[in-house]
Chains A and B, each alone.
Chain A
Amino acid sequence: MVHLTVNGRVVSVPEGSMVAAALMVAEVGAFRHSVQGDVRAPLCGMGICFECRVTINGQAHCLSCQTVCEDGMEVVTT
């Protein structure tokens, strides 16, 4: 298992899992909020739509659907 934090909470997922999958397992309601404040979550799952973008280890706008979970990773939703 790989252990990462999502909004400060520890989440454990099987090795090789994508960050987007980990966030859904952690049941975060929103990956991001839209311009007018609506909650959004992944649509395309393949790096096209940018709805899954989150901050990973301090770097903003990372596509969680194309990033593999790593031990100690810090993920923050916006």
Chain B
Amino acid sequence: MKKLSFAVLVVGAGPAGLAAATSAARGNFSVGLLDENPAPGGQIWRGGRTHAPGKQARVWLSLAELPEITPLYRTKVVAPLGTRALLAERPDGPVLIEFERLILATGARERFLPFPGWTLPGVMGAGGLQALVKGGLPVEGKRIVVAGSGPLLLAVAAFLKSKGAHVLLVAEQTPWHRLGAFALQLPRYGRQFRQAGQLGLHLYNVPFHADSWVTQAHGDKRLMAVSVRMGGRVKTLDCDYLACGFGLVPNSELAAAFGCELFEGSVRVDAWQRTSVEGIYCVGEATGIGGVDVSLAEGQIAGYAAIGQLERARTYFPAREKAARFAALLARNFALRDELRHLATDETLLCRCEDVPYGEAKQQASWRSARLQTRCGMGPCQGRVCGAAASFLFGWTPDSVRPPVSVARVETLALTPETIMRRRTQ
């Protein structure tokens, strides 16, 4: 087994991780930058073949090429080994990585909610479909319904339209008055305001409905049509894809596996982005959904704090504060409505890994009892999809994920503690 050691290891190469790694590298410390994906950028700056990242992304992505930073892409964290090392898996096998400081920038995922037909091929996350299109899926001429909640829907709709898709409808669940309140505050946030304006122009001719949500996806072996509630009526539209996501959920599983305290699903941090575990920092969406600006500010704060440059870290406090205010505005105005708790029928699957129907899960008293009694959340995604849904549907608090935190090969899992210890002391 290979062994690597870094002064600072950053897990996740999205905006927060890139900012953390490049800041930590300013002190001439060895920095490792680890990500599951083949290239840095995270979800928001996912480059891919057909979509070159914007100017801000290009600047940060080029900084990541500093010689002090060792890129470790296509690398998955399998398990923490105490609080100063972890076991990871690369395409060529397992690797033991030691570090003095760890900065977790594990990002966020989309929240999916169950509705009849949501397991049909062709029903995808909003960010999910965007990621696949960036990964080479052509959508020219395809009829697509974009639905769910949050500003991501507009960005995805504009992106799909720019790739030649026929966006039939954007269905936003939040009511008009909330959108209005959000829009009134937008001019206070220059960059976001300009972005919104640009999105509006790109989405010229695309029907947009607030107070509107998907009630059912139709089809046998794949999606043929979706039913959408709008203006008090349900309308059914033939389509090729449904891109549907209900906001974002922090990826806090790895932090929890290291023993870091969580608060309402996000990783709890102090002013220097330190978690409750000494030497471990957390930045970006994993500390609470805030978007790219708050991620960059937090990444820089943690990067400089991790190498002891506290005064430099402090200069990013105001940027973090402003970005956090915007995040609060988003959370307030895109809160999920109660009707979304009642889309699934008893037969609708809640857990897609273990095929557990909603009707079985809802009889349970807690997430733990659902896991034990129905196998809900016991499949390969370890409840990352159905756990986030269940926390909204039933108010359950998902247990923390146990190692291995991701699916790993038998050869990696077969490494005994003795083998690992021997390697660590060598």
Interface residues of A (CB under 8 A from B): 13-18, 20-22, 24-25, 29-31, 34-36, 38-51, 53, 61, 65-69
B136 at the interface (CB under 8 A from A): yes
A interface, over-half SS: loop
Contact among B128, B132, B355, B407 with A18 in the assembled complex (CB-CB below 8 Å): B132
Shortest Cβ distance from B138 into A: residue: A25
Listed A/B pairs (21) with beta-carbon separation below 8 Å: A15-B49, A18-B48, A18-B136, A20-B135, A22-B136, A25-B137, A30-B221, A39-B221, A39-B222, A42-B124, A43-B123, A43-B352, A43-B385, A44-B127, A45-B127, A45-B130, A45-B131, A46-B127, A48-B109, A49-B381, A66-B74
Nearest-CB distance from A57 to chain B (Å)?
11
User: How far in angstroms is the closest Cβ of chain A from B336?
Assistant: 18
A23 to B222, CA, bound (A): 14
- Report the minimum CB–CB distance from B166 to chain A (whole Å): 17
Chain B residues within 8 Å of A44, by CB = 109-110, 112, 124-125, 127-128, 385
- Cβ B125 vs Cβ A43 within 8 A: yes
Question: How many angstroms between the C-alpha atoms of A61 and B69 in the bound complex?
Answer: 30
Known contacts A14-B49, A66-B37, A68-B38; A29 and B221 CB within 8 A of each other:
yes
Decide: A45 and B36 in contact? CB cutoff 8 A: no
Q: Which B residues are in CB contact (< 8 Å) with A29?
A: 121, 221-222
Contacts of B355 in A (CB 8 A): 34-36, 38
> What is the interface size of chain B, counting residues whose CB is below 8 A from a CB of the partner?
39
Chain B residues within 8 Å of A50, by CB:
353, 379-381, 407
A11 vs B49: C-alpha distance when bound (angstroms): 17
Residues of A within 8 A of B352 (CB): 34, 40, 43, 49, 51
Q: Residues of B with Cβ closer than 8 Å to A?
A: 36-38, 43, 48-49, 74, 109-110, 112, 119, 121-125, 127-133, 135-138, 221-222, 352-355, 379-381, 384-385, 407
Interface of B (DSSP majority class) = loop
Bound-state CA distance A29–B219 (Å) is: 13
| Chain A neighbourhood of B127, CB < 8 A | 44-46
Q: Is the beta-carbon distance between A42 and B128 smaller than 8 angstroms?
A: yes
Which residues of A are found within 8 Å of B37, using beta-carbon distances?
A: 47, 66
Q: Determine whether the beta carbon of A18 is less than 8 Å from that of B384.
A: no
Contact of A48 among B132, B133, B381 (CB under 8 A): B381
**A2 closest partner in B (C-beta):** B136
Q: How far is the CB of B11 from chain A (nearest CB, A)?
A: 14
List the B side residues contacting A49 at CB < 8 Å: 352, 381, 384-385
Complex alpha-carbon distance, A53 and B128, angstroms: 15
In the complex, number of A-B residue pairs with CB atoms less than 8 Å apart? 114
Cα–Cα distance between A44 and B110 once the two chains are bound (Å): 7
Chain A residue at minimal CB-CB distance from B121? A41
Query: Which of the listed residues B124, B128, B379 has the most CB atoms from chain A within 10 Å of its own CB?
Result: B128
Q: Chain B residues near A17 (CB, 8 Å)?
A: 49, 135-136
* Min C-beta distance of B411 to chain A, whole Å: 11
Chain B residue contacts of A43, Cβ below 8 A: 112, 123-125, 128, 352, 385
Q: A45 touching B125 by the CB < 8 A rule?
A: yes
Nearest-CB residue, chain B, relative to A18? B135
CB distance from A3 to the nearest CB of B (A): 14
* B128 close to A45 (CB less than 8 A): yes
Given A50-B353, A50-B379; A65-B38 close (CB under 8 Å): no
Residues from chain B with a CB closer than 8 A to the CB of A39 are: 121, 221-222
Neighbouring A residues of B38 by C-beta, 8 Å: 66-68
Residues of A within 8 A of B353 (CB): 35, 50
User: Are A45 and B136 CB-contacts (below 8 A) given A35-B355, A36-B355?
Assistant: no
Q: In the assembly, what is the distance between CA of A31 and CA of B135, in Å? A: 16
List, in ascending order, chain A residues with CB within 8 A of B49's CB: 14-17
Q: How far, in Å, is B117 (CB) from chain A's closest CB?
A: 11
Shortest CB distance B315–A (Å): 32
The interface residues of chain A lying within 8 Å CB-to-CB of B221 are 29-30, 39
Q: How far is A69 from B135 in the complex, measured between Cα atoms in Å?
A: 10
Chain B neighbourhood of A69, CB < 8 A: 136
For B135, give its contact among A15, A21, A30, A53 (CB under 8 Å). Answer: A21
Minimum Cβ distance to chain A for residue B347 (Å): 11
Q: Which residue of B131, B379, B407 contacts A65 across the interface (Cβ within 8 Å)? A: B131
Cα A32 to Cα B51 in complex, Å, equals 28
B123: chain A residues within 8 A (beta carbon): 43
One of B128, B137, B379 near A46 (C-beta < 8 A): B128
The CA of A44 and the CA of B122, in the complex, are separated in Å by 11
A45 touches B129 (CB 8 A): yes
